[in-house]
Amino acid sequence: MKIPSVKGFHDVLPDESVRWSWIEQQARDVFALYNLVEIRVPIVERTELFTRSIGDTTDIVEKEMYSFEDRDGSSLTLRPEGTASIVRAYVEHALQQREPVSKLFYLGPMFRRERPQKGRLRQFAQIGVEVLGRDDAAIDAEVVLLLHDLLAALRIRNPRIELNSLGDAACRPAYREALRAFGEARRAQLCENCQRRLERNPLRLLDCKSSECRAATADAPVMLDHLCAPCRAHFDAVRAVLDREGVAVRLEPRMVRGLDYYCRTAFEVVAEGLGSQNAVGGGGRYDGLVKDLGGGNVPGIGFALGVERLVLSMADDAAGRPLAPEIFIAPLGAAEQEALHAAHRWRRGGVRVELAPGGKSLKSQMRLADKAGAPYVLILGEDELAAKALTVRDMVAKRDFTRAVDLTLSADALRAALAQLAQQPMEQRA
């Protein structure tokens, strides 16, 4: 009986994993340019970490977390995102005492029990960045520049960075109240979900996907019109830097983000190739979070990109192909052991070798070699074994060099021998 995978949990097969590795490498390269260092945190945390940080009226906490009771009765959760865990680790290890500013990145799986569709899974991977310890507008701009450079390095098709400000503790309460009053006056036109959220989390009104709610809230007040002077100055300063650096962003006054910890600068990235799940990434500032999770008064800002969505929206030819073997060894008859011995020596010397199993005809070996894409096939049959020299087939020029390479060569000598064969004029080839 076959046992299928769990709904929303996907395998990444070799065809696609090349793109994943490439994405990770590009990201690491860009992070190094910005002096970010990697942090690795567990995928399981205490449930309260997420309820307290993400917010208990968010979709994630209300209905998407994989929570379970551990054997000792405690409630644990597979992380739905990275920020809460990073901040927990930051507080737990008192990183603020080691360095005034921490610039961190992370890669790894996250879990949300959403309805699966294209670009939306229950296990998905994020590449994320968190900068802790700075609250100035320049760092917000720098984080957006980093995001912009990363999208370029990943060759994402038509990315667009959308920007908003979500205000702070000084100006948001009054705005919240204004939005709540606005929604209250239109309660009958709102979906059940939004009606329920009016009291506890009115900002979510702006985020509802239902067309009725969208129509009813088309002229809802927006945070940008309610910013206090410091939030306004901060937002203007962020935009001024982005302008100066020539990074185009689009103001999106209705964007509120799906997690509650944000304040001031918030942003999302949309791109081509994603259908209705068009956000490849999102992030923003979260100045109260470290304190809420038991740490000091440390501001933070960051973002995360979804790897599955990056794969869908990157240029088709962006990632290279995996490196083909440099040589393919085809043992015939009883030569398997000697072939393995030579392959082992050459691999230890840094040569990429594909070793075919013995007991096959030369024809079927050549078929395999063709598929493997190696430029040289080294044939080891009875005659070659007796002469302790392999026959080389140059797959590009389609010519054979009979017993041309000594079986006992070192890896370096093998490379030199193959290079020499390639330089021989055609007519001298056997």
Contact residues toward ligand HAM (CB under 6 A) are: 81-83, 112, 114, 119-121, 124, 126, 128, 130, 258-259, 279-284, 302-306, 308-309
118 vs 347 by CB, closer to ligand HAM? 118
- Name the nearest CA neighbour of 285 among 260, 254, 262, 252: 262
CB of 101 to ligand HAM, least distance (A): 15
Structural contact between residues 351 and 327, judged by C-beta atoms closer than 8 angstroms = yes
Q: Please, how many CA atoms are within 13 Å of residue 109, restricted to the half-sphere of its CB? A: 12
151 vs 330 by CB, closer to ligand HAM? 151
Structural contact between residues 331 and 358, judged by C-beta atoms closer than 8 angstroms = yes
257 vs 403 by CB, closer to ligand HAM? 257
Which H/E stretch holds residue 199?
Answer: helix 192-200
CB of 111 to ligand HAM, least distance (A): 9
31 vs 124 by CB, closer to ligand HAM? 124
CB of 415 to ligand HAM, least distance (A): 44
The distance of Cα 135 from the centroid of its chain, to the nearest Å, equals: 26
Q: What is the dihedral of CA 30, 32, 33, 35, to 10 degrees?
A: 130
263 vs 404 by CB, closer to ligand HAM? 263
Of all residues in the shown chain, the one whose CB is closest to ligand HAM is 306
CB of 300 to ligand HAM, least distance (A): 8
CB of 119 to ligand HAM, least distance (A): 6
User: d(Cα 302, Cα 308) in Å, to the nearest integer?
Assistant: 19
124 vs 346 by CB, closer to ligand HAM? 124
CB of 127 to ligand HAM, least distance (A): 9
Please, what is the angle between helix 192-200 and helix 172-185, to 10°? Answer: 140
User: d(Cα 33, Cα 413) in Å, to the nearest integer?
Assistant: 39
Which H/E stretch holds residue 353?
Answer: strand 353-355
User: d(Cα 120, Cα 109) in Å, to the nearest integer?
Assistant: 13
